[in-house]
Structure 1
Amino acid sequence: MGFIEKIIFDARMVRASGIGVYVSNVLPFFKNYNTKMKLIGRHEKLNHFNLDVVQYEREAVYDLVQHILLPRLLNKADMIFFPHFNVPFFLPLNRNIFVTIHDVFHLDNPDLFSKVKYWYAKLLYWNAVKKATHIFTVSEFSKERLIYHFPQAKGKITTVYNGVNVSAFQSATPLESSDFERLSIPDKYLLFVGNVKPHKNLKGLLEAYALLPEAIKATYPLVIVGKKDGFLTGDDILPVIEKLGLMSNIHFTGYVADEDLYRIYKSAHLFVFPSLYEGFGLPPMEALASGVPAVVSDIPVLREVYGDHVLYADAANPTVFAEAILKGISEEALRTACLNGKEQLFDKYNWEITAQKMIAIIERESK
């Protein structure tokens, strides 16, 4: 394998919920490949990688200013890797630019955005496709949708699946009594990990959960992991909880450290994932790595990724999803069947394999 001398890795989104997981897990393998690689972002968020950081102070990753400022900082790189589609407009075309486009959510769901946001997103996608030497995406579903919107991407796009940090989840110890008190959660629970964005369908999950028998809800409250402010102020979630009479059944953890997150997964009875749109959908994989069965929405990308290892249901129909949750709670044979052979998934979805495939393609396609 050859060696590309000057690599800059855009790590501005290292703390973002989805992209941040991706960055944190592939970056160490890029570092092993090139110890001289530089990161772009903020020093205080990136020092733990022990790499040179090209300081970029601005927090916003979609603002217009980045299109002017970033090209000046990237002008000496032989290769630039962007883990998202926010490639600067004024970056020269004669660069080796590699981009991961996880999904085309904005283009597939235009009704969820203002016209300004939709067209700005479309312009960003178009620019990323045009500038990229090669594009990575994380599922065949996302690849097909990207090509649908931009047929010109067809000749330079490769699906490279996400991975899961299996050892971190498998080695986590279950929560103890003091942890339940510290985190303000019950000792038995169903688990949702995500955010309040409409396509994550938290309101649909709450409506489905409300349909469960009272005895089940009393035994298995719903724990929601994510930034509490977003959940309680965004998308009118709190009024939904009050209207459904679930105030005593729903527990918000707020933001939790990774170590606590691993243990929260480990102690859950069932993981629920009602998302209506994903590029890959990593949280159920994290649940399976923790030995916890998952009920997920029946959408094509999750069928592609998870096969027979989860229980599917129409998450747009609260009654149907509630029935699936009930099965996931009570039918032990079904729970066991979902977990059997899950190691095959972990062999396939491995961050080292992900990074190695990307690096090999980068070397092959670099000019």
Structure 2
Amino acid sequence: MIVVNAKFLTQTITGVQRYALEICKRLPRFIGEEEVVYVSPKAPLINSISKDIVPIHFGRLPASLWEQIELPLFLIKNGSPLLINLAGVGPVFYSNKIMALYDLAFKHHPEWFSFSFQKVYNILIPIGLKNSIKVITDSYYVKEDINRTYGVNLNKIEVIYAAPSKMFYNQNLKREKFILTVSSIDPRKNLKAVIQSFKNLDTDYKLIIVGKRNHIFSNFDLEDEINDSKINFTGYLSDEKLVELYNKASIFIYASLFEGFGMPPLEAQACGCSCIVSNTTSLPEVYQGSVEYCSPEDNESITAAMQELIENENKRVDLKKSGFENVLRFSWSTSANQLQKVIEQTTYEKSANT
């Protein structure tokens, strides 16, 4: 059998969990002669792959300890099968695995994260990279970063892009005068700069911020920044509410300081919203010429980009069209097929060497 670490089914969906969920929905039940089996800790299942896939639900330990202790024991008792780990650290000392790593922010910017999170990742991730047969990542930027930072051979790293889910589509709603941003509430998303840059505008547009704070990030609070009647912080929203906002916003902004892929602008593009995106890390690779770029460390650049799209309706129309074209470059089915080929290659090479 082939085992997928399905801990992500017990977690609230963020970008990493959505990546794992969407790809697993499209993996076949059998790859070659091996059945694909999903295993998860004994925590409530928040997400589901499909109605006919019931994960093996076992263990007593909290999820992080389950992953390092009980999951490896389960694998060893079942003949040490290939493990697919698409979310989180995974069992670092289990070597028959394919591991996903989406960015190295924890390495390059430990100050953005809680002390315990960045210490755990900085200790365990290098071990996991060394022990894995293959490493999956979500952009060529991250592939080169892993190679440069940890010396992992480029041939060991496979790039499999993310994609917008089908729920994100253009509903042809009337666009309203607001700028939207969607992200976790953490330092790398650069929300304080976005807020300050927006305050520098003389406009009747509003700014709507959608996101939820995560405990893994260092102490970060927006309360002192959101003191303007034109700024609305919604907190976490359901997918239905989020799709509606993507479809009503005139402009979407994503002035992030560091991204391995950067999913929200792609969701916005799928909904027909014109986007402003940072000109850094993986973002130019993913968005190419389909967005208005800003320099995330320059508030004047962020303000100028927002002002340009507020004033230039023709530019918004052009970006809407180029956004639809950009979205067509990405597909979860294509990404799942890529992962399947990586699994097939890995199992073939293993059998050839035994």
Same fold (TM over 0.5): yes
For 1:264 and 1:234, locate their aligned partners in 2 and report how far apart those are by CA, in whole Å: 28
Per-residue CA deviations over 1:311-336 (Å, capped at 9, x if unaligned) read 00112111221111011122122212
* Counterpart in the other structure of 1:239: 224
Change (3 A) 1:112 1:257: closer
Is the contact made by 1:43 and 1:55 (CA closer than 8 Å) also made in structure 2? no
Aligned: 1:188 with 2:177: yes
Displacement after TM superposition at 1:204 (Å): 0.8
Which residue of structure 2 lines up, in the alignment, with residue 365 of structure 1? 346
**Does residue 262 of the first structure (1) align with residue 265 of the second (2)?**
no
Alpha carbons of structure 1 residues 316 and 347: separation in structure 2 relative to 1, 3 Å: same
Q: How does 1:5-16 map to 2 (within 5 A)?
A: 6-14=1-9, 15-16=12-13
Residue 250 of structure 1, aligned match among 228, 231, 240: 231
Alignment of 1:157-236 (within 5 A): 157-165=157-165, 167-170=166-169, 172=171, 174=173, 188-213=177-202, 216=203, 219-227=204-212, 235-236=220-221
The answer (yes or no) to whether the contact 1:193–1:283 under 8 Å persists in 2 is: yes
Q: State how 1:1-367 maps to structure 2 within 5 Å.
A: 6-14=1-9, 15-31=12-28, 33=30, 37-41=37-41, 42=43, 44-47=45-48, 49-50=50-51, 51-55=53-57, 63-64=64-65, 66-75=67-76, 76=78, 78-91=81-94, 93=95, 95=96, 97-113=97-113, 117-165=117-165, 167-170=166-169, 172=171, 174=173, 188-213=177-202, 216=203, 219-227=204-212, 235-242=220-227, 246=228, 248-366=229-347, 367=350
Q: Which amino acid aligns with 1:68?
A: I
| Secondary structure in 2 matching 1:224 | strand
Give CA-to-partner distance per residue, 1:46-101, whole Å, 9 cap, x none: 4562313222578965x45632222123332622111135121342x3x2x11111
Amino acid at match of 1:168: M
- Residue type at the aligned position of 1:207: Q
- Which one-letter code corresponds to 1:316 in the other structure? E
Which piece of structure 1 moves more, 357-366 or 250-259?
Answer: 250-259
2:4 alignment partner AA: F
CA–CA separation in structure 2 for the residues paired with 1:297 and 1:52: 40
Which ranges of structure 2 fall in alignment gaps of 5 or more residues?
none
CA contact (8 A) 1:265 1:287 kept: yes
CA root-mean-square deviation: 2.6
Q: Is the 8 A contact 2:112 2:188 kept in 1?
A: no
Equivalent position SS for 1:168: coil
How many Å apart are 1:117 and its aligned residue? 4.4
Structure-1 separation of matches of 2:149 and 2:91: 20
Farther-moved stretch of structure 1 (112-121 vs 196-205) = 112-121
Match of 2:276, SS?
Answer: strand
Amino acid at match of 1:99: M
Unaligned runs of 5+ in 1: 1-5, 177-186
Instruction: Return the alpha-carbon distance in structure 2 between the equivalents of residues 210 and 22 of structure 1.
Output: 34
4+ runs deviating over 4 angstroms: 31-36, 56-61, 113-117
Q: Pick closer, same or farther for the CA change 1:56–1:18 going to 2, 3 Å.
A: farther
Distance 1:36 1:88, change over 3 A: closer
Cα contact 2:185–2:212 (8 A) shared by 1: no
8 Å Cα contact 1:297/1:312 also seen in 2:
yes
TM-score calculated relative to the size of structure 2: 0.86
Deviations along 1:124-162, one digit per CA (max 9) or x if unpaired, are: 211221221111111111011111111134331111111
Q: Which amino acid aligns with 1:49?
A: S
Number of aligned residue pairs: 337
Q: Which has the higher helix share?
A: 1
Name the counterpart of 1:183: none
Which residue type is aligned with residue 167 of structure 2? A
Letter in 2 for 1:220: Y
CA distance in 2, matches of 1:318, 1:145: 27
Q: Structure 2: how far apart are the matches of 1:110 and 1:204?
A: 20
Q: Distance in 2 between matches of 1:33 and 1:172?
A: 37
Deviation at 1:351, TM superposition (A): 0.7
Looking at structure 2, the residues matched to 260 and 154 of structure 1 have their Cα atoms a distance apart, in angstroms, of 40
1:99 is paired with a residue whose SS is: strand
